[in-house]
A and B are shown apart, each in its own frame.
Chain A
């Protein structure tokens, strides 16, 4: 095995090139991910963010933004904005609205189509993401063909946030949802497109939850715990009045 240098993640600006040779072994296959572009025998950053890697083989730039750009197999929350016989038109926050076939639901047939109204929310998977085509969605799992939690999101409340916050909410140990879960029960669905659906039996908890999630973006785990504690106490005090 040839010598490779230990890599430390660092901040990178668009236009900066990365010399991967320093970190890779001869037989390694390099895969580049979001924010990087292979051009003229060089790997260049096209976004600002933190350059990270996995086993010196997979490289990407970690950055947060507000606008969603669809990517294959990502889970998103969309709003139905129009419907025809064969498909629903769904707003997922990207430049173009997405198409969701009426047959892309578990158990759907030509005779038995799902009945979704305009304005309904759906949790779906991006099944086609090509810059030259309209994105397409499916409400069935790619492997099992079952619903697997996809489908209409009934009731609840939708909040919008940055894509970076959404990614951190998808972490099973995310401090904000863990901290909130200690105080009351709730249901969430997090889309990669900067949308979070929350559902609680109590409206006041919905308000608390949405405020807490929006506030948590730039707080540390310790600050989040403190903030949740204060919000819960405040809400309890309001109830007594």
Chain B
């Protein structure tokens, strides 16, 4: 579009980086997937429904356990916060009442972090849960946007996130297109927030299209006969 600023990586402000994913990449996990937005990529494995430690047992639903490991070293408070965001988002999406007294364990390894990492994680977890066959109310997908010099840019890289005045992570369900999870940092107006949400909602539909194709490919591979 004319008038739009071109970013450092030659994208326009409303363009997301190229998406790629691999399903069932781990052969011992019940479900696994890797997902990447450009240079941000994560690997996620899902185990479950499996046996649960007695102290974590819930009588009416499954215990959802999220573990996020950074690229280097062990998890710090940043990862703990991401674990909370992922757990809270997915506790409403996973139909945990179908598997009471069990545990669904989600493990995420960040393989490369170049911004918008929470969205990358949410998308990888969604794909891994689908791969594991865990019952879900909806498919949850996420996109991040940032406000940089008064302009809303989609899927920011680390470089862009550093200078941004505010960063917004949105996760939408494919059923109602409503926001399931939203995390914002920085200073912004109400108007800016809703503008960001509208832009992300549009961008998520292209991620959904991608996921649909990825699942179709996997099914084709399974049903060769």
Contacts and interface: CB of A to CB of B under 8 A. Distances in A.
Is the A/B pair a real complex?
A: yes
A231 interface: no
A11 interface: yes
24 contacts: A11-B212, A11-B215, A13-B139, A15-B139, A16-B175, A46-B137, A47-B133, A47-B136, A48-B215, A49-B219, A64-B133, A64-B222, A65-B30, A65-B133, A67-B30, A67-B47, A69-B99, A95-B50, A95-B52, A96-B51, A132-B101, A164-B222, A218-B221, A221-B225
A15 B211 CA distance: 13
Given A67-B48, A131-B99, 16 more contacts: A11-B215, A11-B216, A14-B130, A15-B175, A46-B136, A46-B137, A62-B223, A65-B31, A66-B29, A66-B30, A67-B50, A69-B49, A95-B52, A95-B99, A95-B103, A131-B100
Interface string B198-225: 0000000000000110011001011111
Contact of A14 (B29, B49, B136): B136
Interface of A: 11, 13-17, 37, 44, 46-50, 62-67, 69, 94-96, 131-132, 164, 168, 175, 217-221
Contacts of B47: 67
Contacts, number: 99
Among B101, B174, B222, find the residue whose CB has the most chain A CB atoms closer than 10 A.
B222
A13 B137 contact: no
B173 interface: yes
Contacts of B101: 95-96, 132
A67 B52 CA distance: 15
B101 to A, nearest CB: 7
Nearest to B223: A50
